[in-house]
Structures are given as structure tokens and as C-alpha cells.
Amino acid sequence: MTTTPALNPLDFLDQRRSVPARQLGEPGPDAAQLERLLQAAVRVPDHGKLVPWRLLAIRGEARARLGQSLAEIHARAEPDVAPSVLDKDRDRFNFAPLIVAVIARIQADHPKIPAQEQLLSAGCVAYNLLLGAQALGFGAQWLTGWAAYDDEVARLLGLGANERVVAFVHVGTAKEPAPERARPAIADVWSEWT
């Protein structure tokens, strides 16, 4: 019997790719996989143990209902919007079987933990969802779009006054290999303070 060597963790990170949401389909994570994914996702830096985020699942028929609501909200806000744009709004959540909205819960007046640290903690949850999905053999993409920043959409999703969508993380089975893209040269982003 031969064994394959374990994947180096840095090789795993080097292989991280976003799979476009339109290229994601069934199956999505089953109940056990979802539980494991969420356990891993919440292991993030969290100054003061505030848990400044929560997760909202969008799946099943709720995906199409949310898309229809987005199209209606967009049409009211911009009456001259092109029908093709409204079609995109309607279809936005219809591809991946699971969308996880990562919602930051910011205590803006916290005496010790700056709002930026709380927001970054929520961003780390979104990134861990991407890594966790990959580790489980799924594809994933972190998207926002106008809906993440719209007050009416926030009310529709049940967000409180101190909450905002950081990411809609789409998770499913990749229909084709994830595309690679150019990455920055380290020399272009690295310097040393002296």
C-alpha cells in the first residue's frame, strides 16, 4: 500500500481560488459538513471575545425569493434600470445551493475594541468560510454587490441598526475548475520599516 504525502498547509493556501457563483451548483454541504464548516469559520481573531458577527443561511426557495425582492427594490430605487440588470438581481442567489451572509455586529462606542477590529473579525469569518469550503471539496465565492450596502435589503434580511453585510459567501460544487488570476509580486507589496 502506498500513501500520498499530506498536503503542505501553505500549498493549500496557494491553491485557494474563488469559483464564480454562476459556476456553483448542487450538491452543497450536507448537515454534518455544514456544521464542520461553521465550526471552522468562527475560529477567528476576536479582540475582547465580542463575537462581532453572525451568520445567516440563504438556501432552498429562499434564494429565489430574495432575488425577486432585490429586483423589486432595485426597480423602485432606479426606475429606468435595464431589464437585464433586474434579471441579474433575480438570479443572483440561484446558483450555489448555500449562501452564507456574514453580518458584522459593530459596537461603535466600545471603550476598548475599535470598530475596525470588529469589522475585520467578521471579514476573517468570511475568509474562513472560503477556506473551509475548499477543505471540504466545495467551491466558494465571496460577493457583496449593491445589496450588501442597501438599507432596504438590510431591513429585509432583519439586520439591526448596528449590523451590516460583510459578505455573501456562495458555496456549492464547482461545475468546472476555478480560474486562476494574476497575483501580486511580493516585491511590489513588501517593504521594511527601518
Query: Which CATH number is 112's domain given?
Result: 3.40.109.10
Q: Which of 98, 99, 92, 85 is nearest to 67 (CA)?
A: 92
Q: 17 falls in which pLDDT band (50, 70, 90)?
A: very high
**Is position 167 within any domain?**
yes
Q: 36 falls in which pLDDT band (50, 70, 90)?
A: very high
**Is position 44 within any domain?**
yes
Instruction: Give me the number of domains the chain comprises.
Output: 1
**Is position 10 within any domain?**
no
Binding residues: 16-18, 43, 47, 142-144
**Is position 45 within any domain?**
yes
Binding residues for FMN: 16-18, 43, 47, 142-144
Question: pTM of the prediction?
Answer: 0.94
The yes-or-no verdict on residue 1 having pLDDT over 60 is no
The yes-or-no verdict on residue 5 having pLDDT over 90 is no
Q: 6 falls in which pLDDT band (50, 70, 90)?
A: confident
**Is position 12 within any domain?**
no
What integer is the mean pLDDT of 82-104? Answer: 97
Whole domain around residue 112: which residue ranges?
A: 22-176
Which pLDDT score is estimated for 178? 86
Contact 54, 24 (CB under 8 A): no
50: cell is 465580542
**Is position 158 within any domain?**
yes
